[in-house]
Amino acid sequence: MSAAAAAAVLTGLITAAAPAAAAGPACTPDILRLPALADGPSPAYGSVRAFGSGGLVAGESAGLPAYWTADHAVHALPLPEGFVSGEVRAVNAKGLMVGVLRRAGAPDTPYGFTYQKGAAAVRLIGGGTTAGAVTDVNDAGRSVGMEGGVPKEWLNGALVRELPVPADARPGTRIVSVNGINARGDIVGTAQTSYEEDDQLRGKTFPVVWPAGGGYPPYSLQVWTEDDRTVWTTAAGIDDRGRVVGHEDRSYRDWQERKPAVWKKPYDALPNDPGRVKGYEQLTFDGLSGTGPDSRSSAYAASDDDRVGGTFYDWATMKGTAVVWTCASKQAYAPQG
């Protein structure tokens, strides 16, 4: 797949997360296919989910949590006894990784972990006895996620606070995911509520922002669809300016519609729809930076130095490979059609 063809799937993510630092003159557009682990529960799949410092990237290889160093060598995280798969979902500048692991016999139940690069073992949140996920970490070592259905923030593995439901939310509203934390410590997640009105079951999902430190109450972000429980509006991340990205997902039987959304401080307005690329009617935002062939690609992470990470799936070989697009904004273009 050519660099230009692969970049078609990146256009929405690139335009939403324009890199804080423009690519330098030495930048060369390329698609770097990363090596895979020799053995694992899913040998035909790999993905890049996060960028660290010094050339480190992290994600999943052959179904195992893994990271790649600057020399492109792949390394598997040491799994605790009883755990057989998982992925790294985020890594900070100091090499602290977070993500989920899964036990043998329970492939659909995640357990959150943290792992410092070079350590002999991962650290399971809650000792690995409670289901959950650690989804993001900032350079101060603050990580966020869910444990036992409760949204939480940790610092160096110790619980800092449980994240409350906004005061203006309907009774029975619950937090269903925690999706990101920025450098300052602002956290974004997604809430869900359901209720009966006019003899109909109604509901909605909506992003929530918890300001850093817990000194201010959380914000309920506005959504386009207020009372249809079949429509999900989900947050994906928050940058250092407080900008939140996500998408609305409307599904009915075999019909689906996905619309990207961007919220800006002071969170007092409906989200902005950045629009669709010509020829592509659906779009989601899956990440942002801190500041045609018989194949398909997905992008999950963007860095400040104009790299994008994700997976490249080749239908001919039925294999997904972890990839990094370098100088990604120079590869992105609006497809015609």
C-alpha span between 111 and 85 (Å, rounded): 10
pLDDT number for residue 257: 84
Q: Which residue has the tokens 């492109």?
A: 72
pLDDT by residue (tens digit) across 102-152? 999 888 899 999 999 999 999 999 888 899 999 999 999 999 999 999 999
3-state helix, strand, coil in the chain (%, to 5): 5, 45, 45
User: What does the block give as tokens for 24?
Assistant: 């330098």
Contact 42, 62 (CB under 8 A): yes
Q: Which helix (H) or strand (E) holds 329?
A: helix 328-331
C-alpha span between 271 and 221 (Å, rounded): 8
Write down the domain spans for the chain. 1-33+292-328, 41-150, 163-290
pTM over 0.95: no
Quote the DSSP letter at residue 212.
Answer: G
User: What does the block give as tokens for 56?
Assistant: 């480190």
Spans of the chain, pLDDT less than 50: 1-23, 282-284, 291-292, 294, 337
- Long-range residue pairs from 313-317, CB within 8 A, at least 24 positions apart, any chain: 317/44
Neighbours of 22 (CB within 10 A): 11
C-alpha span between 270 and 275 (Å, rounded): 15
